[in-house]
Structure 1
Amino acid sequence: MTELARPSTASGTRTRGFDLFGFLARYGMVIALTLLMGFNLAYTQNFATMQTLNVNLTQVCTIVIVAVGMTLVIATGGIDLSVGSLMAISGALAPMIFMGKIFPIGNIYVAVTLAMIAAILVASLFGLFNGWLVARFRIQPIVATLVLFIAGRGIAQVMTNGNLQTFRVPQFQWIGLARPFNIPAQVMIMIMLVAVAAWVLKRTVFGRSILAVGGNEKASEFAGIDVSKIKLAVYAISGSCAGLAGLIVIAINSSSDANLVGSGMELDAIAAVAVGGTLLSGGKATIIGTLLGALTIQLVRYTLLANGVPDAAALVVKAIIIALAVWLQQQHRT
């Protein structure tokens, strides 16, 4: 009996079946956002207004900014639990400078500029400290960054003696309240940061080195990549992003509370990264995915609240979305 010929493609290879998990891992966020927007357009009152758009974008901006730095850290196989505390430090330091509590500065524009630079720089240096613990002493990132997760907020509270700092300084608060071209300033900052980070990650040697370190650290060392410098850099960038987000938060609130600024931000940022498709084990990352992940989580929460679902239930749904996203990643990899 002769064997029946097997069907083949023109190249002589067998056709592959449809990869459902791969499709969902790649396009799931776009599909989810499209469905959510369609639902809200049909059933949520006043959804298709500039006010609603501005509210959602304003609420998601700081998460995205912090999540950009978190994406780079996770891409190397690390994690940064300290970002919320670094936001508190940045938010505590800036008003102390532009309000003249440390030393008087006559020109308010000079004072504000110095305050913003110093706050972001200090947060970056603390991030560098995280990277130093991870790279130099090879401490597990979750343990290394737990140090500042705990101590960082304490530092912010000591700086302010636990007191609320209130202010009305338009020269500073533009970063959170200005609306150039009717677009919130923090939205413009977020878009620019996402664009730059996406370009760096995809088009530069530094970006490819980040992914290489996360994919295989030993092989990266053999290939001549300075793994320690890459880790120091990504944790410093994560600190800078947290510092910037802290400034935006206090500018919006016209006050700085070391007990509240950045509280829970580390979880929101990690959630945005995970839902966006970046592998938590490192080696693969997408900045645009992180943006879409944060927008999806925010829109889910808005949809539930706008339709009468309690916030506690919204948190449960958020947890389910994160678990589902991680599960899809694992299925796609296998």
Structure 2
Amino acid sequence: MSAQNYVSQSFGPAFNWKKVLRNHGGLVALAVILVFNILVTPNFLQLQTLFVNISQVATIAIVAMGMTLVIATGGIDLSVGAIMALAGAIAPLIFQSEFGQMYPVLGVALAIGFPVLVAMACGLFNGALVSILKVQPIIATLILFISGRGIAQVLTNGNLQTFKNPAFSYLGTGKILGLPFQGWLAIVIAIVLFWVINRTIFGRYVLAVGGNERAATLSGGPVRRVKIAVYIICGALAGLAGLIVVAINSASDAARNGDLMELDAIAAAVVGGALLQGGRAPIFGAILGAVIIQLVKYTLLANGVEDEVALIAKALIIVAAVYVQQARKE
């Protein structure tokens, strides 16, 4: 029996590889990357490699899920990297302050909670510009993209903040059942957001706003509040990711924390199936996209390819994902 006949009998006479790539391109890409790494990349199957990749994937995935919600409403958020830097800069200032030293437990709790609140305020700022003042999302979020990291550097005087705080570092170095804590955290966030999108009225409004904002407005939907809410959620998740990065490194570097994360988050969301025109919020797709983005970066670096090439690869991934989106419409 020929391979072609086997494929026809297995998948039916109408089997179409192009259709498979359009509908399941992310899974196909993931399979190709995994097979390549197993065969070519040294030490890829070691547990240490797995833990490193999970740590990196979790951070990208957490931000990408927030980005997916924003994109689902037809928006975009370029400020997530700057928000990560800002949140990461604030946390050590709190638990290393005199108050934090005097009340260590409360200091750590405040060092986690307050930066996330600041990140939510940044999201509120973005959402207000977009929904109330009708500023284009790319312009509205560009404000914090430029100024957010600057504020973080002012707070830290441009210095690297190193610290030793096991309680706070657990965010980035802790393990549950042998797997990194932030990986479990990303899974919990994904489950919650998946339930919100698919089982709540708010989730229906998010998809409605992105699908047809005018129709959602005419039907009496709370379009402004929904837009503001998704930017707040995106900001909160970016702030949390910033804390995780600081906890992993036991240091806060406002110049590098979250650098180019907006590119990774957008790429992961789009590769995961989010439509740039809005109307879809594939939460678990964002995790798949984050895995692909991280593995592409890891594969290139592990095989001696310069980091600059990884940036080009990410851009090409976005182009390919957009092409697949256009092909689905045909």
Q: TM-score, normalised by structure 2?
A: 0.92
Cα 1:321–1:220 shift into 2, 3 Å: same
- For residues 1-16 of structure 1, the aligned pairs below 5 Å read none
Name the amino acid aligned to 1:264. Answer: L
Which of these residues, 17, 23, 27, is aligned with residue 24 of structure 2?
27
The yes-or-no answer on 1:218 pairing with 2:214 is yes
- For residues 89-238 of structure 1, the aligned pairs below 5 Å read 89-100=86-97, 103=99, 106-238=102-234
Asked if 2 retains the 8 angstrom alpha-carbon contact of 1:78 and 1:282, the reply is: yes
Which of these residues, 239, 262, 272, is aligned with residue 243 of structure 1?
239
Which of these residues, 62, 66, 70, is aligned with residue 63 of structure 2?
66
Mapped to 2, the partners of 1:246 and 1:98 lie a distance apart of 16
Q: CA deviation at 1:303?
A: 2.1
The yes-or-no answer on 1:299 pairing with 2:295 is yes
Mapped to 2, the partners of 1:237 and 1:278 lie a distance apart of 17
Mapped to 2, the partners of 1:295 and 1:307 lie a distance apart of 18
Q: Which moved more, 1:129-138 or 1:160-169?
A: 160-169
Identical-pair percentage: 55
> Which ranges in structure 1 are unaligned for 5 or more consecutive residues?
1-15
Q: CA deviation at 1:22?
A: 4.9
Which of these residues, 319, 325, 329, is aligned with residue 329 of structure 1?
325
Mapped to 2, the partners of 1:204 and 1:252 lie a distance apart of 34
The yes-or-no answer on 1:275 pairing with 2:295 is no
Asked if 1 retains the 8 angstrom alpha-carbon contact of 2:264 and 2:314, the reply is: no
The yes-or-no answer on 1:38 pairing with 2:25 is no
Mapped to 2, the partners of 1:331 and 1:95 lie a distance apart of 47
Which of these residues, 315, 320, 326, is aligned with residue 311 of structure 2?
315
Instruction: Describe the SS at the equivalent of 1:302.
Output: helix
Match of 1:83 in 2: 80
Asked if 2 retains the 8 angstrom alpha-carbon contact of 1:21 and 1:332, the reply is: no
Structure 1 segments (4+ residues) deviating >4 Å? 16-22
Mapped to 2, the partners of 1:313 and 1:263 lie a distance apart of 16
Asked if 2 retains the 8 angstrom alpha-carbon contact of 1:200 and 1:206, the reply is: yes
Mapped to 1, the partners of 2:17 and 2:218 lie a distance apart of 36
From the CA coordinates, give the structure whose radius of gyration is larger: 1
Mapped to 2, the partners of 1:198 and 1:25 lie a distance apart of 23
